Amino acid sequence: MIKPITIDDFICLVEPIPLIDVRTPAEFEQGRIPGAFNIPIFTNEERVLVGTTYKQVGREQAILLGFDLTGNKWSDFIKQALEISPGKKICVHCWRGGMRSRAMAWALELYGFEVYLIEGGYKNYRRWCVTQFEIPYQLTVLGGMTGSGKTKLLHQLQSMNEQIIDLEDLAQHQGSSYGTMNKMVQPTQEQFENNLAFQLKSLDHKRRIWVEDESLTIGKRCIPNPFWHQMRNTVMLNLNVPLEQRVKVLAQEYGVLDKDFLIECTERIWKRLGPEQTKNAILAIQEYRMEEFVRIVLVYYDKTYKTGLGKRNAERVVLVDIADNNLTVNAMKILESVNNINAERPI
């Protein structure tokens, strides 16, 4: 039996049902519901042919062409579905709940699957994502200059039963010119949003959620505006970490990276560093004087951070002095600071 189901119903299922996305590989690569499996009814090229036929000839001819193109594929579709869901319980969607998903649902139901068909398809999931970014969250921002150890502290807080969203992990980028660390590949903007919305829905909106201070863009990915404005207008705990401590941490982190990668990234910010400082930074990289390289580029990044900090409401910025690398002690200090704020006024 085929059971229509809304995207909200699917998201809220107590026991998850395996989800198959029958759109083309290109559509799936551009953006998908997290956890979905791709069983494309058409290849990228076949979808173009069917779409062109629909527009130029008509619906019935497009349907016939679709069956011609997929005629010998159906047994393989069913075999793939069985691998994904041996228990024969599965959820199906396409772009907007049209012919592709209905055809797949029909075939699987005929074989004996219990099929759930998402109404409105992936298009409705994208609408659902937008609504997640507009929900008011109890955000608390963890700020601090480059090298302050914000990401490690964010995850330390998570280990202490605090809720977090790691935006840099979702964006696969650490935010600076060097942010890919010569290994990370960013998701599409669409997929970044999909993953963020999916994580937000799993959190308790009535409890505090920690995020790291970010500019609007992380690499080439953009934080959804409604969510970013919440980040900018909430309390921020600004970590005050000594310069030399930050330099040592960053020198260790970046010292293992390929020199050519570091030089290429440094050349991208030469207008901000200036020609002389860019030359000195590249020379330091070549001679493996990593602490000197870090000191040079931190002049630019610290200045940029201070500019952003100046645009915040000063009454909502709380300074937290961090004097060592003990994650547990520092996380406790952060929690003590935010709890003191709560005692004085609601966040």
Q: Assess whether the region 2-129 and the region 137-344 belong to the same CATH fold.
A: no
CA distance 82 to 20: 11
> Residue 225: pLDDT above 50?
yes
Asked if 162 and 208 touch (Cβ cutoff 8 Å), the reply is: yes
> Residue 342: pLDDT above 80?
no
| 4 or 325, greater pLDDT | 4
> Residue 295: pLDDT above 90?
yes
Catalytic entry in 12, 91, 94, 129: 94
Mean pLDDT, the chain, whole residue set:
94
Average pLDDT of the segment spanning 237-263:
95
Average pLDDT of the segment spanning 38-57:
95
CATH topology of domain 137-344: Rossmann fold (3.40.50)
| pLDDT at res. 343 | 57
Average pLDDT of the segment spanning 281-293:
97
In terms of C-beta density within 10 A (0-12 exposed, 13-18 middle, 19 or more buried), how is residue 158 classed? middle
| pLDDT at res. 339 | 87
| pLDDT at res. 187 | 98
> Residue 347: pLDDT above 80?
no
> Residue 306: pLDDT above 90?
yes
Q: Is 144 left (phi over 0), alpha (psi -120 to 50) or beta?
A: left
For the chain, state the CA radius of gyration: 25
| Distance, first Cα to last Cα, the chain | 49
Kindly report which listed range (192-201, 226-235, 307-316) carries the lowest average pLDDT score.
Answer: 307-316
Q: What are phi and psi of 63, to 5 degrees?
A: -65, -45
> Residue 156: pLDDT above 80?
yes
Provide the pLDDT confidence category of residue 1 given band limits of 50, 70 and 90. confident
Q: Tens digits of per-residue pLDDT, 186-201?
A: 999 999 999 999 999 9
> Residue 314: pLDDT above 80?
yes
Provide the pLDDT confidence category of residue 32 given band limits of 50, 70 and 90. very high
CATH code assigned to 2-129: 3.40.250.10
Domain ranges of the chain: 2-129, 137-344
Our answer to whether residue 91 is catalytic in this structure is no
pTM of the model: 0.93
Q: Tens digits of per-residue pLDDT, 107-140?
A: 999 999 999 999 999 999 999 999 999 999 999 9
